[in-house]
Structures are given as C-alpha cells and as structure tokens.
C-alpha cells in the first residue's frame, strides 16, 4: 500500500496489532511485539527488504546510541549516589517537616531546574534516582502500611512524584527553547528565539502547574505501578554501614551535569568561538557531562568514602543489569518509529492535512499532532509540520511566528503511545502496564498539548 490512504491504514493497523500482542492473553514481550509490528508495517508499506532491515537497525541504534547511553550513565550515577546514602539523605532533607500535599510542588520545582536545559530523556535520567528516593521516603513516612494517606485514600508514591516531574519536563521540552523542537521550528518559520522564549515560558508555567501538581493527586489515587525491584534498590538502598554522604556532595553530583549542559546551551546562544568555546561545547554534551559527574561521584562518594574497586564494580554491574530489559524495549520502539518515518507515513500525514482550511495556529498544531501520533517522534513532527506551515507564516504578516512555533511544539507531544521511545522509557522505569502508561503518561502529555494549544490561541487574540 503506497497511496497516502493505504499508508495511513497500514500505520494504524500495525500500531493496533502491537498493542493487541502486548495486552492480549498471549502477553507477548514488548520487544518482540514491537519488532514484529515494525517489520509487518514495513512489508505492507512495500519497503524493500534490505531498506526495511536497515531502517529498523538505524532506528534501534539511534535510540540506544542516544537515549540508551544516557540511561546507562544516569543509572550508574544514581547507583553511586544511592550506595553512598546520598539520595536517601537528600530525600530526607527535602521531605522533612513537609506534608504529602507539598511533595508534587517540590518535585515540579526540582524538575523545572533540571529540565530547563535538558532533553526529555536526559532530564528523566538525571531525575529518576531522586524521584525513587523521594517516593520511598513518602511511602515510609507519609503513608500507612497499606499505602493510605491521612484521609484513608490509597496513594501511589511513585505516581505522586512521577506525574509532576513528567508534566514539568514535557512542558519545557515542547514549549521552551533551547529544546530541539521549539528551536528547530523557530528556524524553519523565521521566529525569534527570544520572542519564542518570552511567550513560551509563561505558557509552560501554566501547563506545568496543571499537568504536574494538580494532576498528581488524581492520578496517584488511580494508577498504581510497581517499579522493577532491582531498579528501586539501585536508586534507594544504601548497603553500607557508613554514615550517609553529605547532602552538599550529593546535590553537587546531581547538578554537575546540569551545570555543564546549561553552560553549553548558553554558549550556543552566545555564538562563541575559540578553545574555551570548544571545551564548553565538549563537556556540555549529555554523555560527557554525565561521565564527568560519575567520575566526580566515584571520587568523592565512592573511593573517597572507602569503597573498594570490586565493590564499586559490583554496584555498576548490577545497575546496568537492572536496566538491560528496558534498553531492549526502548530500542525496538525506536526501530518502529524509524520504519514509520522511512516508509513515507509521516509525509502522507503532511500531504493529507495541507488542504485543511484551519486558522494558521490551529493548523500548525493539528499537523504536528497528526504526524506525532503517526510516527511517534516529537522532533520529526515539529520539523515536518514547520516546513508545511512556514510558507503560510511568511505570506501572512499578521501571524506571530513565535506563536506558530509554540502551536507546533504543543502539537508535537500529543498522545504518546507505543511508537514513542519516551513512552517505553517511562513505562518500564516505573513498572507500568500498557494500560497504566496510557492512563498516566499519555494523559499528562496530552494535557500539556491541548492546554498549550488553548493558551496559544488565547494569546493569539491579544498579540498582533
């Protein structure tokens, strides 16, 4: 099926088949279901076999070479912090004297600081150890033995801290430069990055509050994931008999990669040059920044506190082993995404929506949303949709290019599902079923998307 209609039907049928394989009584492993679904979609879309295999391999390798490495490094860093007792001490300090209602707001502030300069997956990798430690602290000090709060309501501590973190990072990722989506869209439609930031940041603050702290309570009382025990222990269990590491060293270890990446973002905006610029660019790459943080943590919280080489090697080995199944599933999700792109399904969506007579801001959101749902990648959705609406922006001076960028960004994160690698990262890290993922992460990002569109349309009425 190479017609646009055929491609759209193929994509829909393939995605539905993957969901059925995972959720039906057969309970196929997500890695196998995603792999089989990807190959089937490619064959029905009449991709050449050699191109199909190459496309799937590139998709798997692209995700594992980007998100996968960051996940491994973030997990290793979190394990070192946990084994030193640092994350436990930090969680205790942050929750001391606080009630359960304040926890989502506290997490949103932490996620805002971490997520402002970082990509979604990188921010989540940095946050995950602290989120799990905070969840364990909430479970031990704010809930009874049956997991109920002071009003007798059963609460998931992992959702209580996970929802505000995910809502905050999703809002920043879609609406605030220098994140890749808004930045790429600004270049395509000729919008000022400064104007986009000025308009996008207040909008993001509104979506953060609604999709984070306000949504955390209802979802935490309805969705009860069970994170992998091995991963929970990596991030929360302090096996040593020594006094927990200092909060200062723990905080600095967490903030070090953030500071390095923030310096790179500032240097990119300033457009510097020379040797110093080169080193800032190098050390600000997520992989290098996390490696530097790991070396610092090993020196101060590992070897510096008396851990032996074999002990540290054991920590690292077990941390990597704990996330290996998650990496496989995320990789297969990347393969599915790449086949959806290379088979022409994204372009078919774009062609199908060009003739719609929507107002420009609504059209920008709709095209980005349609491509996102079809291919799973927010960045692909933004770049493709921006290319389609750019001529409209250039020939319609009364439209604010910055608002078009924000409409594109909001549309690019709507309804994440099985073709989105980030969905699998969240699902497997928090130990969710597929249904729980749809009822939580999909709801969170769709809330950001739809609310973001409403705010952009409202702003469009008052900005000439």
Kindly report, residue by residue over 172-226, the tens digit of the pLDDT: 989 987 677 787 788 888 888 778 888 998 999 999 999 999 999 999 999 999 9
pTM here is 0.78
161/303 same-domain check = yes
Q: In percent, how much of the chain has pLDDT > 70?
A: 95
pLDDT score of 44 = 92
User: Mean pLDDT: which of 24-33, 81-90, 168-177, 383-392 is highest?
Assistant: 168-177
CA-based torsion, 45, 49, 51, 55: positive or negative: positive
172-189 residues labelled b (16+ CB within 10 A) or e (exposed): bbbbbbbbebbbbbbebb
Mean per-residue pLDDT of the chain: 86
Domain assignment of residue 247, yes or no: yes
pLDDT score of 134 = 93
DSSP structural state of residue 100: G
pLDDT classification of 104: cutoffs 50, 70, 90:
very high
77/37 same-domain check = no
216/286 same-domain check = yes
Among all chains, which residue has been given the structure tokens 């941390």?
319
Domain assignment of residue 411, yes or no: yes
pLDDT classification of 64: cutoffs 50, 70, 90:
confident
Q: Residue 141: which domain range?
A: 72-325
Domain assignment of residue 104, yes or no: yes
pLDDT classification of 464: cutoffs 50, 70, 90:
low
222/128 same-domain check = yes
Say if residues 236 and 83 touch (Cβ distance below 8 Å): no
3-state helix, strand, coil in the chain (%, to 5): 80, 0, 20
pLDDT score of 2 = 63
Cα-flanking dihedrals φ and ψ of residue 83, to 5°? -65, -25
DSSP structural state of residue 246: P
Of 13 and 157, the one with more pLDDT: 157
pLDDT classification of 131: cutoffs 50, 70, 90:
very high
Say if residues 413 and 174 touch (Cβ distance below 8 Å): yes
Domain assignment of residue 66, yes or no: no
Kindly report, residue by residue over 83-95, the tens digit of the pLDDT: 787 777 777 888 8
Say if residues 109 and 325 touch (Cβ distance below 8 Å): no
pLDDT score of 121 = 79
Mean pLDDT of 118-131: 81
Per DSSP, helices labelled H in 65-190 are 69-83, 86-95, 103-115, 120-141, 157-175, 180-189
DSSP structural state of residue 155: -
User: Mean pLDDT: which of 183-187, 310-314, 375-379, 456-460 is highest?
Assistant: 456-460
Q: Which of the listed residues 292, 325, 358 is the one where a domain comes to its end?
A: 325
Joined tokens for residue 187: 């270049």
Strand partners, 154: 148
Kindly report, residue by residue over 443-462, the tens digit of the pLDDT: 999 999 999 999 999 998 87
User: Mean pLDDT: which of 141-155, 303-317, 330-344, 371-385 is highest?
Assistant: 141-155
Total domain count, the chain: 2
pLDDT score of 344 = 85
Domain assignment of residue 67, yes or no: no
pLDDT score of 155 = 97
Mean pLDDT of 100-105: 95
């Amino acid at each position: 099926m190479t017609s646009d209609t055929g491609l759209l039907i193929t994509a829909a049928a393939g995605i539905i088949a993957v969901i059925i394989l995972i959720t039906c009584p057969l309970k196929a492993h997500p890695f196998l279901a995603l792999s089989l679904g990807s190959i089937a979609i490619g064959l029905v879309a009449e991709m050449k076999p050699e191109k199909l295999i190459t496309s799937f391999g590139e998709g798997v390798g692209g995700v594992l070479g980007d998100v996968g490495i960051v996940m491994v490094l973030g997990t290793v860093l979190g394990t070192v912090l946990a084994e030193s007792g640092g994350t436990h001490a930090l969680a205790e300090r942050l929750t001391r004297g606080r009630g359960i209602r304040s926890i989502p707001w506290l997490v949103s502030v932490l996620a805002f600081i971490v997520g402002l300069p970082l990509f979604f997956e990188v921010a989540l990798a940095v946050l995950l150890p602290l989120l799990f430690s905070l969840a364990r602290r909430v479970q031990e000090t704010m809930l009874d033995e049956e997991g109920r709060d002071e009003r007798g309501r059963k609460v998931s501590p992992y959702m209580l801290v996970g929802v505000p973190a995910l809502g905050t990072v999703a809002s920043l990722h879609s609406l605030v430069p220098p994140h890749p989506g808004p930045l790429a869209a600004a270049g395509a439609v000729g919008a000022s990055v400064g104007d986009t930031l000025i308009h996008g940041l207040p909008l993001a603050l509104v979506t953060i509050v609604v999709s984070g702290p306000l949504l955390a309570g209802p979802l935490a009382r309805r969705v009860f994931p069970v994170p992998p025990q091995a991963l929970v222990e990596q991030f929360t269990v302090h096996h040593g008999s020594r006094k927990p590491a200092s909060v200062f060293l723990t905080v600095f270890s967490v903030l070090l990669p953030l500071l390095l990446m923030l310096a790179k973002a500032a240097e990119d905006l300033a457009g510097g040059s020379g040797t110093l610029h080169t080193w800032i660019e190098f050390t600000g790459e997520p992989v290098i920044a996390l490696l530097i943080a790991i070396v610092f943590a090993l020196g101060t919280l590992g070897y510096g506190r008396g851990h032996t080489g074999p002990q540290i090697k054991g920590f690292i080995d077990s941390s990597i082993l704990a996330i290996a199944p998650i990496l496989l599933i995320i990789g297969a999700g990347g393969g599915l995404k790449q086949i959806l792109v290379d088979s022409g399904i994204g372009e078919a969506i774009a062609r199908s929506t060009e003739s719609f007579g929507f107002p420009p801001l609504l059209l920008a959101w709709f095209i980005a949303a349609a491509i996102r749902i079809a291919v799973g990648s927010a960045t692909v959705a933004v770049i493709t949709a921006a290319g389609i609406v750019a001529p409209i922006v250039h020939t319609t001076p009364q439209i604010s290019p910055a608002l078009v960028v924000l409409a594109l960004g909001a549309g690019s994160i709507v309804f994440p599902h099985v073709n989105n690698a980030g969905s699998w990262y969240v699902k497997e890290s928090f130990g969710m079923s597929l249904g729980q993922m749809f009822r939580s992460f999909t709801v969170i990002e769709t809330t950001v998307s739809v609310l973001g569109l409403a705010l952009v349309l409202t702003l469009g009425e008052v900005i000439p």
